Amino acid sequence: MSSPSISGDRKRRKAISREKITPQAYYLRRMVKKDIPSVLEIEHRCFPNPWRETTFEGEIGNYGISYPNVVVLKGEERVIGYMIYWMVRDEVQIANLAVHPDFRRQGIAEGVMREVLAKVKKEGAKLVILEVRPSNVGAGLLYQKLGFRPLGIRKGYYRTPDEDAIVMGRLLDN
């Protein structure tokens, strides 16, 4: 009897994780220092020019403006994603949103965005803005689905590879 391949094990884990994920299967909470190794793993798997550990530490310590959150799989208490946004008065900037590759395309990013949009609206936000790579078609479509519209271009915003950013925004009706 041959042993299963690593890729076969990964596929089984991925299939199992896909079965578990529903909006009730995860929750959002404030990021703490012990989350950083998990967040860094996701960051490095999702972005070609990842943030550094010290950047996440700074976000955790920046109370009052920065809202670093992790997406936690209930039961396992495993960090499967994160979102960082900044709120200054009535404006919100989505700084970073990522979901572990094994948990993508299950509505997690959309659920997190909807939850955060509802929360910041209750707190008096009137405008939410973000940047997205033109090559990140999936994210762009998600943001459009959530009511974001292109506002402009930031030339040369991204590195590795060099790319402009599409600035998108959404007004929140209060």
Characterize 82-100 residue by residue with b for buried, 16 or more Cβ atoms within 10 angstroms of its Cβ, and e for exposed.
Answer: bbbbbbeeeebbbbbbbbb
Q: Going edge to edge, which strands form the sheet with 163-171?
A: 26-30, 66-73, 78-88, 91-99, 127-132, 163-171, 149-158
Does 174 score more than 70 pLDDT? no
The pLDDT, as a whole number, for residue 1 is: 37
What CATH architecture does domain 22-171 belong to? Answer: 3-Layer(aba) Sandwich (3.40)
Pairing of strands 91-99, 149-158: unpaired
DSSP assignment letter at 163: E
Residue 17 has a pLDDT of 47
Selecting among 26, 67, 143, 158, the annotated active-site residue is 143
Catalytic site residue 85?
no
Whole-number average pLDDT of the chain: 88
Residue 4 CA to residue 44 CA, distance in Å, equals 27
**Using an 8 Å Cβ cutoff, are 108 and 26 in contact?**
yes
Q: Which of 53, 57, 91, 131 is catalytic?
A: 131
pLDDT in tens, 34-91: 999 999 999 999 998 899 999 999 999 998 899 999 999 998 999 999 999 999 999 9
Higher pLDDT, 18 or 78: 78
pLDDT at 112 > cutoff 60: yes
Give the total residue count for the chain: 174
Q: What residues are paired with 165 via a beta bridge? A: 154
| Spatial contact of 165 and 153, defined as CB atoms under 8 Å apart | yes
- Residue 160 has what pLDDT? 86
Establish whether 115 is a catalytic residue.
no
